Copies of this chain bind each other. A is one copy, B any other.
């Protein structure tokens, strides 16, 4: 992603453009697959050895508040973050703990229609998130993402 685009993401949200924020945002787009704060720190270490882990958490929190990223909770002991802000679901591999985003407007439509017919009493639905749990076929080589 171009430097100018990164800056635009920040300034569109009224955020001050700091080198740290640009670097974290770039790392989020580069790593893509749901990095943790620690993974971002490691990615940035070459270019930015002085960035504090607390700063990374601050920045990630700010990005969450501004709707630039989302937290993803997993079975691991830390929070992961997702730059993909379109509605999507998650594929979890029980074997390698890889999380993959799953976009499927047809499924979204199916769920929406289903819950328009079958309402949940006293509850107004805003969003869905389907966790699809299973395993990749053998010989797939996804990086292990826990621990």
Contact = CB atoms under 8 A, between A and B. Distances in A.
Interface of A: 71, 73-75, 91, 93-94, 102, 104, 106-107, 110-111, 114-115, 118, 120, 122-137, 140
A136 B134 CA distance: 32
Given A102-B120, A110-B114, A125 B129 contact: no
A132 B114 contact: no
Integer count of this chain's copies in the complex: 2
A1 B73 CA distance: 32
B133 A131 contact: no
A27 to B, nearest CB: 23
Contacts of A127: 133-134
Contacts of A130: 111, 128-131
